[in-house]
Structure 1
């Protein structure tokens, strides 16, 4: 996935004026694996960022200590460790009034999932329940596995990338077990692959005004086949998921930026602000202005990037 990693010193600015900062995973050399693991301290201060921002990569956090609130999009979770959390690429997130925050962090891009491509769909499903409070035994097992990931990444011995992918796969499978049967990956097959590709397309561009037909053409199937595949995998229609993605992105922009309602409408693919307002009210039950007033909070935004546990060669 081009553009998801950057060499140290490359600024990670907001992609367009008024947008929240977009953080990329930094690596020391272009040919190194797009992965990093460490503690909150070794990953760096940006792992505790208190202002809304997005990532181009996945982040898994194992919180072992701290108070405050973790905010992802519009969901808020008070910290009562231990927790295991997942932040998906493109989600707006930050730590609010956090004190004593500690634990382990794993960062990786979608390109890292070479050995286990089914993990992409599993991550999407885990993202539906991204915050878990762990019991004692599960906390201990998770801590051991996170420590293995950090140790393997730090040593960088021969074959370390393969070992990291295997350990990450185990972590995702074990996390899926905690979330119940609905978080398990669907059985292999062409319809499931089409639904997975649609979900990935939705995550990347679903808020930019694509139609169902355009999505089907991009994937290389008919609109009817896309509808069948998506309904079989999710129980919903592609159109409903597209509308949900556009509404969710509009919510993120209204809460996390100072863009005007007209600008937000344009960002999510509406030429007519009045039509956008009707769409938004239909999807959320509130007008964009009311929604922003209800969630309005001031957060400082900084032009910084995550030093993703990068190592020298």
Structure 2
């Protein structure tokens, strides 16, 4: 996730009108590791923002106290701590009616996973599941690992960056186990459930993995297999074969699912018109978009928006307004 960290005070580009704002991870100086850990108070108010927004980074949250609700994409959950959850780059989330929120927040970009690339797959799997309510033993174990992460990050002794990556790997695997015991694999090595990680298949697997990450970013210029293939420097045929071998699904199937999911996000989280959402998801013809959406979901965009059980407030200010720090 290159370019996802910025120096404090760096102006951000304003998001397209009506889109959820994008939050990037600040670093104190050039070449600083893209990692941060702290409480909701020390990380800052954006860690408990009450308006829908996206991240360019991963966020692992250990909620130890508080009431209210957390909303991520199309799922809303009442808080009943202790919780452990993951928010992946590109997901839209916010908090509601918070009182007494406490816990630990870990922020990092994909660049920080260099020692354990399989963790990317685990993190996205965990982010797609409901947040886990931890039992006492898992809660204490999570708090212990987070305490070690915070202490190591604060001390910055020799080799602390490799220790942080190792501890983070343990935390990711434990988070996967908390949400689905099968997800961490029999060996608990951070591989994906039900098979080897795409990276294990060489170049084709790496291409498939990068394709999945492109879809998660929901970039308007990459809403076709051909566009994604060109961005990755391969032919559409090679991309299709690589994705099918790595995931068991075709590139077209994954692309349709990603476009549908992004359309749902925009219908629920914004006041954009159906025509605007069609444009944001790569459809030049709103009528064709409506037919596509109905075929994929069984509902028209309007019916889906009216039936959505998650409310939002489009009046909240953007955190990426021109001239504002990222």
Shorter-chain TM-score above 0.5: yes
Alignment match, 2:139: 139
Alignment match, 1:40: 40
Alignment match, 1:303: 318
In structure 2, C-alpha distance between the alignment counterparts of 1:82 and 1:9, rounded to whole Å: 34
CA distance 1:229–1:209, change in 2 (3 Å) = closer
Q: Offset at 1:166?
A: 1.1
Q: Does 1:250 align with 2:263?
A: yes
Alignment match, 1:290: 303
Q: Offset at 1:193?
A: 2.8
Gaps of 5+ in 1: 306-313
Q: Is the 8 A contact 2:52 2:312 kept in 1?
A: no
CA distance 1:203–1:120, change in 2 (3 Å) = same
CA distance 1:96–1:196, change in 2 (3 Å) = same
Q: Offset at 1:269?
A: 0.5
Normalised by the length of structure 2, the TM-score is: 0.86
CA distance 1:6–1:141, change in 2 (3 Å) = same
Q: Is the 8 A contact 2:223 2:259 kept in 1?
A: no
In structure 2, C-alpha distance between the alignment counterparts of 1:220 and 1:13, rounded to whole Å: 27
The superposition leaves residues 91-127 of structure 1 with CA deviations (integer Å, 9 ceiling, x where unpaired) of: 1000111211111000001111122222222222222
Q: Which stretch of structure 1 is more off in the superposition, 40-49 or 9-18?
A: 9-18
Q: Does 1:230 align with 2:231?
A: no
Alignment match, 2:282: 269
Normalised by the length of structure 1, the TM-score is: 0.89
Q: Offset at 1:151?
A: 1.6
Count of matched residue pairs: 305
CA distance 1:219–1:304, change in 2 (3 Å) = closer
CA distance 1:237–1:65, change in 2 (3 Å) = same
Alignment match, 1:153: 153
In structure 2, C-alpha distance between the alignment counterparts of 1:67 and 1:234, rounded to whole Å: 39
User: Residues 198-213 of structure 1: matches in 2 within 5 Å?
Assistant: 198-205=211-218, 208=221, 210-213=223-226
In structure 1, C-alpha distance between the alignment counterparts of 2:55 and 2:283, rounded to whole Å: 25
In structure 2, C-alpha distance between the alignment counterparts of 1:14 and 1:277, rounded to whole Å: 28
Secondary structure in 2 matching 1:105: strand
Which structure would you say has the larger RCO, counting Cα contacts within 8 Å and 6 or more residues apart?
A: 1
Gaps of 5+ in 2: 185-190, 321-326
Root mean square deviation of aligned Cα: 2.1
Alignment match, 2:98: 98
In structure 1, C-alpha distance between the alignment counterparts of 2:183 and 2:36, rounded to whole Å: 28
Which of residues 189, 203, 207 in structure 1 aligns to 2:201? Answer: 189
Q: Is the 8 A contact 1:11 1:304 kept in 2?
A: no
Q: Offset at 1:78?
A: 1.4
CA distance 1:290–1:14, change in 2 (3 Å) = farther
